[in-house]
Structure 1
């Protein structure tokens, strides 16, 4: 019955953490953060990643705005690591947002799986990512040819898990719920969002994290989709 497959982008196809780490290593050197007192790039990246994931979780459900997320993720990280607010590099966030979307690391098997699925199904993206960054990622990583629609929450005015973004996506796809399935890494945004709307969903869980019992379908590698579709 499935005719349309909706994918999340960040952390599902586009390897957000790997691309972010590359950028942060470059910026650590560029801004000479060791001289500010940050002796370890790895500790900086680890602290940032934890803060960023927490803030994105709040952003998904509307607790904070895009502006708050961008303002806090690095300031919070620098302060936690003992850097006085006046010494935080003011252009750091802007440079990060400018550089990171041009990174091209995808999850292993992405192009193979998308190439296979595109022959049998109509593929779409539903992303809570920032619009300008999402469009760059899609173009630079060569993902546009695989997807018929790229639905971005900023265009819709609501984020996953809000039912309205799934309604909007199905309207754009001219599809019915029973013909659709959502694949993503976020239990709250992707899986709960799709299920709450009445769509099937597959949890992409590359780190094999524990997950709720009512999440019935999970994969740890994208190539597992080849066995199911």
Structure 2
């Protein structure tokens, strides 16, 4: 067996984060009595993506991201809001979203017999644990490693160093990172000397300087790689 330790990202790798985000925003807007149009949702999505990329680059802290994203977002529309209160509501709605990516559970069930499977996520620990539990995927994982708890985030090599120290008998050559983000999962794996799989179901172009070891557009194609 080439890879015995599998390190999975969660959002848009195993769980459909886009669906969860849309659900949470729809619920938030219903709560505040506003209409969420496709254009407004796309504005939020782009802003949120930008903020998380800043967080990955250590330009802002997690607290700054969470405390200010709704102030920044509604500020674009000339509205002043209680950003922290909106954040708390949004996060509670986000935790309700646990739609699996196609074939996620089938893949984990197939791999769990002969592989040690872990989660490596930059998402909020409490939110991710609830989503994994309610999706039915939680039993397949030996541990969940969340940057919020670790104190370092992907792609920082310190994140993966922490993970390596917590896994008994960890071997770089026998470990594989699987995720959808080139700037987080794949870059982080490369920086720490780990092989990686870029899950790219929409066939996006790689415009970064980071190259994954493998690329797949269907989760079940991972099985032939890790065998």
TM over 0.5: yes
Preserved contact between residue 24 and residue 93 of structure 2 (Cα < 8 Å): yes
Alpha carbons of 1:205 and 1:138: their partners in 2 closer, same or farther (altered >3 Å)?
A: same
Task: Report the Cα distance in structure 1 between the residues aligned to 2:138 and 2:212, rounded to whole angstroms.
Answer: 29
1:225 to 194, 198, 222: 222
Query: Which residues of structure 2 form unaligned runs of 5+?
Result: none
Task: Report the Cα distance in structure 2 between the residues aligned to 1:90 and 1:61, rounded to whole angstroms.
Answer: 23
1:200 Cα deviation from its structure 2 partner: 0.2
Task: Report the Cα distance in structure 2 between the residues aligned to 1:152 and 1:29, rounded to whole angstroms.
Answer: 30
Alpha carbons of 1:52 and 1:89: their partners in 2 closer, same or farther (altered >3 Å)?
A: closer
Deviations 1:65-117 (A, max 9, x none): 1121112322222222x23225x677322111112112221111110111111
**How many aligned positions are there?**
222
TM-score normalized by the length of structure 2: 0.90
Indicate the RMSD between aligned Cα atoms, in angstroms.
1.8
Task: Report the Cα distance in structure 2 between the residues aligned to 1:179 and 1:227, rounded to whole angstroms.
Answer: 15
1:185 Cα deviation from its structure 2 partner: 1.3
1:104-143 equivalences in 2 (<5 Å): 104-143=98-137
> Aligned pair 1:53/2:54, yes or no?
no
Deviations 1:169-202 (A, max 9, x none): 1222221100100001111221111111111001
1:216 Cα deviation from its structure 2 partner: 4.2
1:41 Cα deviation from its structure 2 partner: 2.3
1:75 to 64, 71, 78: 71
